[in-house]
Structure 1
Amino acid sequence: MTACGYRVGGQGASLPTEIKVIAVPAFENRTPWMRLEQRLTAAVMQEFIHRSRYRVVGKEQDADAVLRGAVTSATTTPVIFAPETGRASAVQVAVRVSVELRDRRTRATLYANRDFVFREQYEISSDLDSFFEERDPALDRLARDFAASLVSAVLENF
């Protein structure tokens, strides 16, 4: 019997087998975007829980490996404008995060990206009253999308 080199993506085969528990302490926020680090940290924890075999905790002392992150920048850039008003109807959000996953026992770096960049385009409402109502859901979507991208990179070691 022979085996092919196929495996299911996102299952964490590139991490050492002794890693069972990953701590994701609160990311540091070096931007003026209030609570962005809380959204990103929570989304990353949820993504690990849903997409991997690892148990996820918030405290480092309870883990085999620790994923640390620092949000280094967050920007929005208008990319599409409504022709009738000239106002932005879509923006690109770019978030830069420095991340590192370390084995607590050996202190070996299992994954690191000092300049993990996530970009996503979002439509915005031209109605000023609903603009602020859409901000929180848009940031939640951003956090989920960012987390999916980061967890894929960590699990597949890209």
Structure 2
Amino acid sequence: MTHMLTRCLALVLLLITGLSGGCALKYDAGEAFDPEVRTIAVATFENRTFLREIEQDLARALIAEVQKRTPYRITTPAAADTILQGTVVSADRVQLSRVSGVGVPQELELRVAVDFEWRDLRDGNQRASVAGLRDAGRQVATQPAGERLDVARNTVAENLARKIVSEMRSDW
């Protein structure tokens, strides 16, 4: 009987330890944003590349990502506590594959790099800054998919927005 009771207690302890460990991991993995910041302005990034409209795609993706993952409210620079701004510094299309026998590009990858800064407008201090943040999006250029460059551009903008918002987390 004592052997059975010992096994039951060990199982209960194992379950409790496992559950509390799971909760702790979930809590630690959660995103923490500075509660002193209430509002943010998202500026359209400067675009130093020949890739048109990536700066607008990135601005839209950043606004959506900030609204989805942070407690911050989007507003104008005049009314904001902070501003997120940056520059698209490079954009390259790389051919990954071609249609056999024809040489026409089949799959392309759009590689984009940005520099960004998140600045506190109340005191002028820099809250976060990253140079050369990179991501890529793919496009199947041939039929039957026949995707336009917009597909890759939107993918890379959304991926970069996720990375930028992750950089805005508090380190505490």
TM-score, length basis structure 2: 0.74
| One-letter amino acid matched to 2:67 | I
Q: Deviation per CA, 1:19-60: give whole Å up to 9, x if none.
A: 111110111111122221111111111111011111112x21
- Which residue among 72, 80, 84 is the counterpart of 2:89? 72
Indicate the residue corresponding to 1:26 in structure 2.
44
Query: Radius of gyration: which is bigger?
Result: 2
Check 1:156–1:95 CA distance in 2 against 1; reply closer, same or farther (3 A cut). Answer: farther
Higher relative contact order (CA 8 A, sep 6+): 1
Q: Do residues 139 (structure 1) and 156 (structure 2) align?
A: no
- Quote the RMSD (CA, aligned, Å): 2.4
Question: Does structure 1 conserve the Cα–Cα contact (< 8 Å) formed by 2:57 and 2:154?
Answer: yes
Distance across 2 between alignment mates of 1:135 and 1:8 = 35
* Residue aligning to 2:13: none
Q: Structure 2 vs 1, CA of residues 149 and 84 (structure 1 numbering), >3 Å: closer, same or farther?
A: farther
- Offset, 1:91: 1.7
Cα distance between partner residues in 1 of 2:39 and 2:119: 12
Gaps of 5+ in 2: 1-22
Q: Is the 8 A contact 2:110 2:153 kept in 1?
A: no
Whether 1:104 aligns to 2:121 is yes
1:7 paired with 2:50, answer: no
Counterpart of 1:45 in structure 2 is 63
> Do the aligned partners of residues 7 and 130 (structure 1) sit closer, same or farther apart at CA in structure 2, a change above 3 Å counting?
closer
Q: 2:139 matched to which residue of 1?
A: 123
Task: Compare the two structures and name the one with the higher helix fraction.
Answer: 2
How many angstroms does 1:18 deviate by?
Answer: 0.9
Distance in 2, matches of 1:26 and 1:33, equals 15
Query: How far apart in 2 are the matches of 1:90 and 1:125?
Result: 6
Stretches of structure 1 that go unaligned for 5 or more consecutive residues are: none
Structure-2 separation of matches of 1:130 and 1:91: 13
Aligned pair 1:154/2:168, yes or no? yes
The count of residues paired between Structure 1 and Structure 2 equals 148
> 1:45 & 1:141 partners in 2: Cα distance?
15
1:26 partner amino acid: T
Q: 1: CA distance between counterparts of 2:104 and 2:151? A: 21
